[in-house]
Amino acid sequence: MKDHMKMTTPSRPFRVLIVDDDPLSTDLLAKDLRQIGYGVSGVVSVSSDVLATVQRDRPDVVLLDIGTLPHSNALQTARELRQAENVVLVFLAGPEAENAVRAVADFSPAGYLGKPVRPHDLQVTLALALRRHAHEAEERKSLQSLAHTDPLTGLGNRRHLYETLDKAWEDCHNNDRPLGILMIDIDHFKQFNDSCGHAAGDRCLTQVAGTLLEACGDAGATVGRWGGEEFLAVLPGGTAEQARHLGEQLIAHVEATTATTADQTAQSPVTISVGAAVAWPAAAEGGWQALVSQADDRLYDAKLAGRNQLVSKPPHKTASRRQ
């Protein structure tokens, strides 16, 4: 048995918090856990202390006895752990706790262990529980990525850009740095779609997105699809000169790239217009929303001036909708 335990010891010592008011039981569990390669972060006998202990000590696993703790407290503890903490929850229960087991079944713990706990059962249950937890974490990460990604271009979508803007605005505010925003629009895209078809339009969007992503990445900016044929780039720490330079690079790169790869039926090359705005969040009013609005107004000015160009100065007129 000892050789088998040694072979299956985790690559790093996972830490376990024991929640049980029976000293004999906790002593045996702690001994068995250490023997099979786990660490014991602590022992809690009062359910009201569990959440605070988890938040302070950050164990990987909580072994929660639902039979010896008061029934209502065990339920509340389980609920709080499932909702608030990224922790593996395994229930302990003796033969007398059948009703409690049924009551907590809806919390979907990572595992159950009957008392008295056998070392082999403890080892197998914890290994499976940790594996399940890791798998669920990967699934959540994948779903979160899908929720923040534009399916056509692969760029971040507007939700992702909102979060990027929130973080960039806060960081620049706290560190007294400027924040640059570039609003980008593909010129004459409606006509392109009408004359070349939606499939060609999708290819155009994907190609322009790839070009923007490469150029923005080199400049330390984040770019995403704002909607339709519009894209938005976020340049933390970007001065007015740096934002202007990036905008000019984007225009040149898109024109050069699409000139050689555009659809035969399309007017080549595809071009973009860009509006750029910069603010110092520590001294600005209106949040990043006002800054985006400024960039949008300057994009409108670029369209009025003939397209395929950048406007980074305050526009002569504003409008909420471009034609």
Catalytic residues: 229
- CA 102 vs CA 11, 68, 311: distances in Å: 34, 15, 65
The C-alpha angle with vertex 266 and arms to 264 and 272, in degrees rounded to 5, equals 130
Provide the 10 A C-beta neighbour count for residue 245: 16
Q: How many CA atoms lie within 13 A of 177 on its CB side?
A: 14
H/E element holding 160?
A: helix 158-174
How far apart CA 66 and CA 103 sit, in angstroms, is 10
Q: How far, in Å, CA of 29 to CA of 78, rounded? A: 20
Distance CA 139, CA 133 (A): 10
Residues 171, 290: Cα–Cα separation, whole Å:
17
Q: On the CB side of 22, how many CA atoms lie within 13 Å of its CA? A: 17
Residue 105 burial by Cβ neighbours in a 10 Å radius (0-12, 13-18, 19+): exposed
Cα–Cα distance, 33 to 252 (Å, whole number): 62
Q: Terminal CA-to-CA distance of the chain, rounded, Å? A: 76
Burial 205-227 (b: 16+ CB within 10 A, else e): bebbbebbbebbeebebbbbbbe
